[in-house]
Amino acid sequence: MKVILKQDIKGVGKKDQIINANDGYARNYLFPKNLAVPADKGNMTNLQSKQSSEQHRKDLEKEEALKIAKKIEGILLKLPVKSGENGKVFGSITAKEIQENLEKQYKIKVDKKKIALQEPIKILGMFTIEIKLYDGVIAKLKVNVIGQ
């Protein structure tokens, strides 16, 4: 019997997956516990419309990420910091500070977790930082750390 799973079931399948289940397993376990529905014409139509709306939402998110990436590519973010001898910064510049300055100076909101900074910046100079906006969409932000 073909059934559509309503949630992930370990060892059986993932949510919205169509599987072949034994008749007894489906009727006595999956249907009573509301874990699956029969894969009839109506349920298949519902599943297809749900998947197409999900795909549309993902396409919109990716399009928005591409717009933000295009904005970020043309930005030179200036971060004035106090520095000592030999161009060493007092403290360090973290992803959170980059995110705050990007929002304050250019009104672009980016989650700090998406800023790929291997280690905090501790010296003056120009840096190129990758921002992972969406799956497959990576923007390169130029950051100029200048001393005061």
- Can you list the domains of the chain with their CATH numbers? 2-59 (3.40.5.10), 65-147 (3.10.430.100)
The span from the CA of 134 to the CA of 117, in Å, is 16
Which pLDDT score, from 0 to 100, does residue 147 have?
86
pLDDT-derived band at 51, boundaries 50, 70, 90: very high
SS3 27: helix
Q: Is the pLDDT of residue 87 over 90?
A: no
Residue 11 CB-density burial (10 A; 0-12 exposed, 13-18 middle, 19+ buried): exposed
- The mean pLDDT of 77-83, rounded to a whole number, is 91
Are 54 and 126 spatial neighbours (Cβ–Cβ below 8 Å)?
no
The span from the CA of 40 to the CA of 31, in Å, is 14
Q: Is the pLDDT of residue 10 over 90?
A: yes
Non-local CB neighbours of 86 within 8 Å, separated by 6+ positions: none
What are the phi and psi torsion angles at 96 (to 5°)? -65, -45
Are 9 and 16 spatial neighbours (Cβ–Cβ below 8 Å)?
no
pLDDT-derived band at 85, boundaries 50, 70, 90: confident
Distance in Å from the first CA to the final CA of the chain? 72
Q: In sequence order, what are the beta bridge partners of 81? A: 147
pLDDT-derived band at 86, boundaries 50, 70, 90: confident
Residue 47 CB-density burial (10 A; 0-12 exposed, 13-18 middle, 19+ buried): middle
